[in-house]
Each structure stands twice: as structure tokens, then as C-alpha cells.
């Protein structure tokens, strides 16, 4: 058979019926009465004739079609069914990181984890945007490393290590399920990505707390009500950012001055109760009056404030506040430190205020929630903070009670 030429293919005219012209080795072009030209590969396998459409002219050139056909012809000569091979390739393109981590979340995380939302946030905010479209067959340690480096470069090395930990677990799940032959993140270590994480010990002094509150209460701070009140609520209650971010209006009982956080939103996986002082109730009232969502902190109806919104807002005001760098979690640490140093609150009461689990023996035998003591501690702390802002008033000084 004579080989096709570009001019020959270009000048092929349609006929009354669909017709085909072959070059040999199963390589055909088909022309319909409407003039549509399709490249075909025809072969015989397992007792049956098979036809594969390679593409359409002129979108697929003669050279491209010939190369594609030659590849399939070589497979056929080696004993492989070209059509089955192409189906396998098409399926491989749908086996992506997104598909894997979504299955891992649905089949494992939702069933086994007390706080699946934390993993869901990592998947939606980081894993899918950075690696979601990558085919599992093409996934390599280098691709994973580059994705994690992107997180580090935006100034979040600790978060990059959290994403690495999640990826290791998801890829191990993929290996167990047969979707991956090996875990491409198994040899990566936190020190190679975000570095060794040193425990933070930053806590704000009383003077720094006063400076921060004065800034937040200034009408010219150019901050949103959500961000401003969120920071103050964390400082007044010691609550975790995640527990506040997911708070809904039905959790707040103004009449009984109580915030009841469901177990699925707490780090410990247990229901947590927070006494609400009068200033904190006022903050929640302001937020609820401005909210159009079931979530107290929300940028759009039906969704809580994003995981990164508050940290970004805090970073934007660092230079304007006038104190050394701090984070939302440092406010929680400051709450704990000042309840002890300034108010001499019993350490066990402070631990209860923070929602920490007691040591195993104590947790087993002591079910006392210490709500009255916690109410007193949070009320005193609220009064203490308010006193810092009162003009010409010396802040309340508490004396440690002799034991």
C-alpha cells in the first residue's frame, strides 16, 4: 500500500456513502458523506475484528495519527489487546489523588476519626488544589515535595507538616486498597519539609493584652466585626480557634450564659461547656445580629469562616497593633497563663476551662465538670480585662490565697 501524504488527505472528497482508505498495517482514514474525516486502527484479536478511532482530521494530523497507530500496532504484535490497553489508560486518568483522598475520607476518616472536619479542611484547602488532578500512576515523591514546598513558601511550615502527615496516611490507604504500588510520601520527613517544630511558648503580658484590647476597641482599626470579636472571644474564653469557627447560633444559651460545643467540633471529641460572661455575650449578640448564616462566623451563607481567614487577618494587623508577633493560639496560652499568674486560679479549674482531658485515673473517677468554679474563673477574668481598659482605674489585683 502507498503511504498517505498530507496533500492526499487534505484533498479527499466525500462520497454518497461513508468510505475508507487504508495505508496498511490496519491504518485507515474514514470519510463520511458530510466530509468528516476520522483516523482508524483496525486489527484482529481473539477471533474478532476490532476498530479503534484514533482521532479526527485536521485536529489530529497525519503524522500524529500514524504515530498513534504504530504504537497500537506494536502492542498488537507483542500479544497485547490494544483496545483493552486504551481502556486501562483511560481508567488510569480517572484514578487521581483527588479520587483517592476523597475515598479515604469517606471510607475511613468519617468512620474512624472523632474530628473528621480537620482532615476535610486539609483535603479541600491544600491537597486537592495542589495535587488533586495528578494521576496516581504519575505520582512521585518529587511531585509531593513540590506541593508541600508551595505551602512552606507561603509562610506555613507547620501546616505543611500537617498536610504531609495526612498525605502519608491517605497514600498508605491507597497501597492497602491496591490503587498505589507504593507510598510516594513514605520517606519524606517533617524536618525535610517544614522543619523540626519547636513548641511555642509565646504568651502575651498584661501590658500587651491591654495594648491589643485598646487596638481592637478602637473604631479606626479597620477590622471586620467578625475578626475583631473572634480575637476578643478567644482571649476572654481561651477557646480554640476551630471550636469558635464552627460555632452555630443554637449552641449559645444567653439565658443561662452557656455555650455548649458539640463533641464533633471539639479536639477531645467530648461535649464542652463554656460560661459566657456579660462582655462575651455582647460580642456574640453583635456577631449574630450581623450574620446571615447558621454559623456565627461566616463569609457566605451555609459555610463557616474559612480555616485561613482568622490567621490571615491577624497577620495583617501585626505591625499596627504594636506588640511582638502573636497568633490566635498564643491568646489561648495567654488566657491560661494569666488565669494562673494574675488571678491564681486553681490549675485543675484552668484545665477544665481549656477543655483539656484530665489524666486517665482522674478522668475515670472524677466526673466533676466544676462548672461553678469555671464560671467564677471566667467572670473574674472578664472583670480583670475590663478593668485594664477603664480610664483612671487601677486594674484589679488578686492576692494568692494561702493554702
Q: Does residue 394 lie within any of the structural domains?
A: no
- Shared-domain flag, residues 329 and 354: yes
State pLDDT tens for residues 303-336.
888 878 898 899 999 989 989 999 999 999 999 9
Q: Do residues 266 and 205 touch, judged by C-beta distance below 8 A?
A: no
Burial of 323 (0-12, 13-18, 19+ CB in 10 A): middle
State pLDDT tens for residues 66-118.
998 888 898 888 888 888 887 776 665 568 899 999 999 999 998 888 778 78
Last residue of a domain, one of 91, 116, 141: 91
Q: Does residue 126 lie within any of the structural domains?
A: yes
Q: How far is CA 335 from CA 201, 202, 398, in A?
A: 13, 12, 16
Residue 213 pLDDT class (50, 70, 90 cuts): very high
Give the per-residue pLDDT at 365: 38
Q: How far is CA 387 from CA 206, 209, 245, 323, 382, in A?
A: 11, 12, 28, 20, 9
User: Looking at residue 85, which CATH number applies to its domain?
Assistant: 3.30.160.390
Give the per-residue pLDDT at 394: 43
Q: Does residue 200 lie within any of the structural domains?
A: no
- Shared-domain flag, residues 104 and 248: no
- Shared-domain flag, residues 101 and 87: no
Q: Does residue 257 lie within any of the structural domains?
A: yes
- Considering its fold, how many domains does the chain have in total? 3
- Shared-domain flag, residues 213 and 331: yes
Q: Which domain holds residue 329?
A: 206-389
Give the per-residue pLDDT at 363: 45
- SS3 category, 39: strand
The β-bridge partners of 31 are 19, 37
State pLDDT tens for residues 231-285.
999 999 999 998 999 999 999 999 999 999 998 888 877 889 999 999 999 999 9
Q: Does residue 170 lie within any of the structural domains?
A: yes
- Shared-domain flag, residues 281 and 300: yes
User: What is the rounded average pLDDT for all residues in the chain?
Assistant: 86
Give the per-residue pLDDT at 392: 42
- Shared-domain flag, residues 183 and 290: no
Q: Does residue 282 lie within any of the structural domains?
A: yes
- Shared-domain flag, residues 65 and 163: no
- Shared-domain flag, residues 147 and 259: no
Give the per-residue pLDDT at 4: 87
Q: Do residues 37 and 31 touch, judged by C-beta distance below 8 A?
A: yes
- Shared-domain flag, residues 231 and 137: no
- Shared-domain flag, residues 69 and 133: no
Give the per-residue pLDDT at 299: 79
Q: Does residue 1 lie within any of the structural domains?
A: no
- Shared-domain flag, residues 49 and 134: no
* Longest CA–CA separation in the chain, Å: 107
- Shared-domain flag, residues 80 and 126: no
> Is residue 396 over pLDDT 50?
no
Give the per-residue pLDDT at 92: 55
Q: Report long-range pairs for 379-385 (Cβ below 8 Å, ≥24 apart).
A: 379/275, 379/277, 380/343, 380/345, 381/236, 381/277, 381/335, 381/338, 381/339, 381/343, 382/236, 382/277, 382/278, 382/279, 382/280, 383/277, 384/338, 384/342, 384/343, 385/209, 385/213, 385/235, 385/236, 385/279
Last residue of a domain, one of 161, 193, 225: 193
Last residue of a domain, one of 91, 126, 157: 91
CB count, 10 Å around CB of 225? 13
Give percent helix, percent strand, percent coil of the chain, each to the nearest 5: 55, 10, 35
Q: Do residues 371 and 225 touch, judged by C-beta distance below 8 A?
A: no
Q: What average pLDDT does this structure show over 343-353? A: 91
Give the per-residue pLDDT at 357: 72
Q: Parallel, antiparallel, or unpaired: how do β-strands 272-275 and 37-45 relate? A: unpaired
Amino acid at each position: 500500500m502507498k503511504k498517505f501524504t498530507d496533500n492526499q488527505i487534505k484533498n479527499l472528497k466525500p462520497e454518497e456513502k461513508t468510505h475508507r482508505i487504508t495505508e496498511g498495517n490496519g491504518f485507515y482514514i474514514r470519510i463520511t458523506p458530510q466530509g468528516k474525516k476520522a483516523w482508524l486502527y483496525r486489527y484482529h484479536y481473539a477471533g474478532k475484528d476490532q476498530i479503534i478511532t484514533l482521532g479526527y482530521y485536521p485536529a489530529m494530523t497525519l503524522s500524529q495519527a500514524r504515530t498513534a497507530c504504530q504504537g497500537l500496532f506494536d502492542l498488537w504484535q507483542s500479544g497485547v489487546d490494544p483496545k483493552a490497553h486504551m481502556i486501562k489508560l483511560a481508567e488510569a486518568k480517572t484514578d487521581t489523588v483527588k479520587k483517592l483522598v476523597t475515598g479515604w475520607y469517606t471510607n475511613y476518616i468519617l468512620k474512624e476519626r472523632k474530628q473528621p472536619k480537620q482532615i476535610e479542611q486539609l483535603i479541600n484547602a491544600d491537597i486537592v488544589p495542589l495535587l488533586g488532578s495528578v494521576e496516581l500512576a504519575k505520582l512521585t515523591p518529587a511531585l509531593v515535595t513540590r506541593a508541600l514546598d508551595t505551602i512552606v513558601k507561603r509562610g506555613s511550615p507547620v501546616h505543611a507538616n500537617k498536610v504531609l502527615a495526612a498525605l502519608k496516611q491517605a497514600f498508605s490507604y491507597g497501597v492497602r486498597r491496591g490503587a498505589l504500588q507504593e507510598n510516594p510520601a513514605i520517606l519524606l520527613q517533617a524536618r525535610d519539609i517544614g522543619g523540626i517544630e519547636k513548641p511555642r511558648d509565646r504568651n502575651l503580658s498584661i501590658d500587651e493584652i491591654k495594648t491589643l484590647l485598646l487596638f481592637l476597641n478602637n473604631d479606626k482599626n479597620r477590622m471586620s466585626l467578625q475578626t475583631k470579636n473572634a480575637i476578643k472571644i478567644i482571649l476572654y474564653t481561651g477557646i480554640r480557634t476551630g471550636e469558635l469557627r464552627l460555632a452555630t447560633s443554637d449552641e449559645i444559651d444567653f439565658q443561662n450564659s452557656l455555650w455548649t460545643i458539640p463533641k464533633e467540633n471539639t479536639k477531645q471529641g467530648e461535649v464542652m461547656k463554656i460560661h459566657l460572661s456579660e462582655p462575651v455575650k455582647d460580642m456574640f449578640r453583635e456577631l449574630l445580629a450581623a450574620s446571615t448564616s447558621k454559623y456565627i462566623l461566616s463569609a457566605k451563607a451555609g459555610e463557616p469562616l474559612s480555616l485561613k481567614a482568622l490567621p490571615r487577618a491577624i497577620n495583617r494587623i501585626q505591625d499596627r497593633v504594636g506588640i511582638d508577633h502573636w497568633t490566635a493560639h498564643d491568646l489561648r496560652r495567654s488566657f491560661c497563663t494569666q488565669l494562673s499568674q494574675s488571678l491564681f486560679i486553681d490549675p485543675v479549674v484552668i484545665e477544665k476551662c481549656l477543655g483539656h482531658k484530665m489524666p486517665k485515673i482522674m478522668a475515670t473517677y472524677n466526673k466533676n465538670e466544676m462548672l461553678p468554679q469555671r464560671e467564677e474563673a471566667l467572670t473574674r477574668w472578664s472583670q480583670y480585662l475590663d478593668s485594664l481598659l477603664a480610664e483612671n482605674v487601677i486594674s484589679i489585683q488578686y492576692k494568692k490565697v494561702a493554702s
